[in-house]
Amino acid sequence: MARTNISVDQLVFDEFSSEAQRQNKTLFAFANESLSTIAKIAAEGGNPLDLYKMWRAVTLLKQFDAITFPSDFIDELVSKDYTRDKNGTLKMFRDLGSQIVGVLKIAAGNLDELSELVRNFAGLLPVKQFTLAAKDDKNKVEISVVGAGRKIESTECALEFLTSVLNGYGYNVTKKEVNVGTIRIWASRRGFA
């Protein structure tokens, strides 16, 4: 067994040592387990920081009691329901946005934090790109989404969902552009039209 010394910041050592103790493991065992995991992630082309982002994303998904399906399957399901009952399907997505915005606001208290959360979820969401640009001291925003469905029906449903989430953060949509898979929204904080 090879032995070596590793220098780390005192704060990192204290956090690491406390966590090993909390898990009732020796510092040696916890360090080996942690470093082995990080080495495996890096060897497969991953970034160790991605591990934290994925853990945070999975933890948040558990709050929603999410079930994941392939995006093609979801697109087909949404398209069939949309064809059968367009208004009812759009309402379901509006309601979904309204229902989960409370949990989202716990993890992301404002739109900047929500944008960061979406970037952290990038590996788990079918969305290819999500950009948020603040205007007028963050009282107005422009949001662009690429990969928001593979059919116009699912893209329109994604728009309804996103509009509800924005409403939950205190913004009203003032203008929107929707094409298959792409959404562009301009929104203003309530009271700053």
pLDDT value at residue 50: 74
Which has the closest alpha carbon to 147: 125, 166, 164?
Answer: 125
**Candidate from 85-89, 131-135, 149-153, 164-168 with smallest mean pLDDT:** 131-135
Domain boundaries, the chain: 10-46, 70-189
Percent over 70 (pLDDT), the chain:
89
Model confidence at 153, pLDDT cuts 50, 70, 90, reads very high
Instruction: Report the distance separating Cα 172 and Cα 174, nearest Å.
Output: 6
Other CB atoms within a 10 A radius of the CB of residue 154 amount to 24
Amino acid at 122: A
Which has the closest alpha carbon to 121: 41, 50, 43, 67?
Answer: 50
Region 127-149 average pLDDT: 84
pLDDT value at residue 108: 87
pLDDT score of 177 more than 90: yes
Which has the closest alpha carbon to 114: 187, 18, 191?
Answer: 187
The CATH code of the domain at 70-189 is: 3.90.1520.10
pLDDT value at residue 147: 83
